Structure 1
Amino acid sequence: MLIAGIDEVGRGCLAGPVVTCAAVFESGFYDIRIKDSKKLSKKKREELYPFILEHAVSYGIGIVCPIIIDKINILNAVKQAMHLSLSRLTCDYDKLIIDAVALNHIDKEYIHPNKADDTYIQVSAASIIAKVYRDNLMAELAKVYKGYLWEKNAGYGTKEHIKALKELGITPVHRKSFIKNLYQG
């Protein structure tokens, strides 16, 4: 039996895309080290990333940019990214487990419990893939848009990021709908 797990990262960020991962594993896949990405250090996530990719039957990444997030809202952007990640799988699967988001137009058996990334290894593994992928993307964007410290904060609303936002202004990768109350420029 092949089980797919889906999770997202970057939902609450002030900058950058929302990223999802759909990852398919054999039903017996297990490793005690794999947990929700938020419960692992950056170093642990990066160590586990190649291991997870090696053991995945398939995985797909879905990315929705800030312009679309601002147009359709974050929940709809997450759903769109999840559908994109599913469309990029190169294999079929028997069951789907989604972290806390109900999707329409899914023709497979699926569940969407809250905190699935704490309970189902497939979702935990997908969360690690998505987190490492997005963190690396934000580190690359930090080279283009200097001063926001995205290589450290990944676009989240840290004190340093908000300070830089007020001093340097918004960039094309900021979510205007998320910062409208922070930035008065």
Structure 2
Amino acid sequence: MDDDLIQMPPDFLVAGVDEAGRGPLAGPVVAAAVILDPLKYIDSLADSKVLSERKRDSLFEIIKADALSWSVGMASVEEIDELNILQATLLAMQRAVNGLAIVPDQVLVDGNCLPKLLIPAQAIIKGDSKVKAISAASILAKVERDKIMVDYYQQYPDYSFHRHKGYGTKQHLKELEQFGFLSIHRKTFNPVRTMILQQKLVG
């Protein structure tokens, strides 16, 4: 982790922002914003994708307890289908930043696109592995979204959402073929989009 890439005065508050769930075929896209407390060092912060589920869950609780402020924002399946996944992701990020109880001096966003904000912001490619606040945000977003997908499994036990989290795995594609799509599936994502078109042609 190399926060030295971005030199800030000690009283300069930075919010890290990241998302989870751009690629799946089902469920919302979730973003988080985190302002870390410089007086409370959190060990092992890293991109959520390189951490085990147990480690993410542990850090999730520590981040929420020790951060100066944190917030989670989402964009629904309906918003994803209406806006497209990029714009829905930026909307979720905007909601996460706007939900912070403390207004940061700057927002650092993972990736190469920025949401519309009234605060100075910078996009950082692979920021989740370079900036601790973005790493923390990636963990919150991932764990929050995984919880949503586990809840979906309780509602729709025919679909293994607790395992594939809505991604287009072989198991998920098999479930779609066997049971059809649900209201929580993204209608503009294939193979769901193709399934809808085929239904219209048959109808």
TM-score (normalised: structure 2): 0.85
Identical counterparts, % of pairs: 37
In the alignment, the residues of structure 1 paired with residue 154 and residue 118 of structure 2 have an alpha-carbon distance, to the nearest angstrom, of 41
Report whether the alignment pairs 1:72 with 2:95. no
The answer to whether the 8 Å contact 1:2/1:27 transfers is no
Report whether the alignment pairs 1:13 with 2:13. no
Give 1 or 2 for the bigger CA radius of gyration: 2
Cα 1:44–1:175 change in 2 (3 A) is: same
Task: Return 5+ residue gaps in structure 2 as ranges.
Answer: 1-11
TM-score (normalised: structure 1): 0.93
Task: Return 5+ residue gaps in structure 1 as ranges.
Answer: none
Equivalent residue for 1:36, pick from 19, 44, 47: 47
CA RMSD, Structure 1 to Structure 2 (Å): 1.6
The answer to whether the 8 Å contact 2:42/2:62 transfers is no
How many matched pairs?
A: 185
The answer to whether the 8 Å contact 1:30/1:121 transfers is no
Equivalent residue for 2:66, pick from 28, 48, 55: 55
Question: Residue 4 of structure 1: SS of its match in structure 2?
Answer: strand
Q: Deviations over 1:138-158 (max 9, x none)?
A: 100111112221111111111
Q: Deviations over 1:116-148 (max 9, x none)?
A: 001001000001011111101110011111222
Equivalent residue for 1:2, pick from 5, 9, 13: 13
In the alignment, the residues of structure 1 paired with residue 115 and residue 153 of structure 2 have an alpha-carbon distance, to the nearest angstrom, of 35
Cα 1:29–1:116 change in 2 (3 A) is: farther
Q: Deviations over 1:82-110 (max 9, x none)?
A: 11111111111112110014335423232
The answer to whether the 8 Å contact 2:42/2:63 transfers is no
